[in-house]
Amino acid sequence: MRGQATLGVAVIDETQLQAVTGSGELVRVEGLRKTFRSGTQEITPLDGISFSIERSEMIAIIGPSGAGKSTLLHILAALDTPTNGAVYFGAKSLKSLNEIELAEYRNSAVGFIWQRHHLLPDFTAAENVAMPMLVRGEPMTEALRAAREWLSEVGLADRAGQSAGELSGGEQQRVAIARALANRPALLLADEPTGDLDEGNAESVFELLMRLHRSHHLTSILATHNLSLARRTGRILVLEHGKLVPTANVSAGMASASTAQMATVEAQISGELG
Ligand code: ADP
């Protein structure tokens, strides 16, 4: 399989790959609980959360600042571990993966986009995008060639050789998106990806994410407190006092939900965000 020579362990074997690339559930979260301890204080931003995401779905997780959105995405990306509960990717529980498999999951199965791009400013845009491919064992020439293709796909073909630190905020976020997709992950996690951008750039970066989500058959989870962006995804989940409250299937459900139902959902969401 492409580029798995270095780590040598496939997180997803062929059977599981079929499960992942076929129809049905890609991610399942069961009874997730996360408690942070700071001195004598205990915070439980996630208090028994369960949900699943179908392949090719794009969902938004909303809730006010501090609700636990980042915590949830970090656990889904295996950047943090839950206090209780489990995350399944395809048929595999993340708990069952060893350190090498987890590293591969983080690098290849998941693409992560942060509010701040976290690019290496002294490296070129192409080198930044090539980084996850190099970690995976791609030869430099091939990784840079693929990186330039990704940069072209995010509208930055002419910026490949420019230092990341010299790019504008919107361009940096586009490079970060290209880097997140470089290893062709099945799951894209975006944590307030437009939160640092002005309105115009936020709109074009969001449009780009929607386009890439569709064209690469991604399964995408967007954490945001921007309700108007969240409404453009397929489904909104609201984090509320440590619980995840399903609201409505916005794209399909808009047509079928009654006005009263939608008003209730909107009031619920607005209340959460107000
Ligand atoms: P959101 O992304 O919705 O703004 P976060 O997931 O960042 O929320 O944070 C949820 C809560 O957990 C907050 O009260 C935050 O202070 C707390 N928290 C997050 N990470 C840590 C940590 N490493 N140690 C202690 N508390 C944390």
Q: Tell me the CATH number at 226.
A: 3.40.50.300
On whether residue 250 sits in a domain, the answer given is yes
Phi, psi (degrees; rounded to nearest 5) at 168: -75, 170
The number of distinct structural domains making up the chain is 1
Q: How far is the CA of 62 from the centre of ligand 1 (A)?
A: 14
Q: Is 69 in the pocket of ligand 1 (CB under 6 A)?
A: yes
In this predicted structure, the answer to whether residue 234 has a pLDDT above a threshold of 50 is: yes
- Is the model more confident about 6 or about 17? 17
On whether residue 214 sits in a domain, the answer given is yes
In this predicted structure, the answer to whether residue 15 has a pLDDT above a threshold of 80 is: no
On whether residue 89 sits in a domain, the answer given is no
Q: Which atom of ligand 1 lies nearest, measured to the CA of 74?
A: 6
Q: Is 193 in the pocket of ligand 1 (CB under 6 A)?
A: no
Q: How far is the CA of 155 from the centre of ligand 1 (A)?
A: 34
Q: Is 41 in the pocket of ligand 1 (CB under 6 A)?
A: no
Distance from C-alpha of 178 to C-alpha of 133, rounded to nearest angstrom: 12
Domain range for 265: 56-74+101-273
On whether residue 25 sits in a domain, the answer given is no
On whether residue 66 sits in a domain, the answer given is yes
Q: Is 71 in the pocket of ligand 1 (CB under 6 A)?
A: yes
pLDDT-derived band at 255, boundaries 50, 70, 90 = very low
| 134 Cβ neighbours under 8 A, 6+ residues apart | 140, 143
On whether residue 244 sits in a domain, the answer given is yes
The tokens 């990306």 sit on which residue? Answer: 77
Q: How far is the CA of 45 from the centre of ligand 1 (A)?
A: 7
Mean pLDDT of 44-49: 96
In this predicted structure, the answer to whether residue 6 has a pLDDT above a threshold of 70 is: no
On whether residue 85 sits in a domain, the answer given is no
125 in Cβ contact with 162 (< 8 Å): yes
On whether residue 10 sits in a domain, the answer given is no
Mean pLDDT of 191-197: 94
pLDDT digits (tens, 9 = 90+) for 119-149: 999 999 999 999 999 999 999 999 999 999 9
Distance from C-alpha of 73 to C-alpha of 27, rounded to nearest angstrom: 12
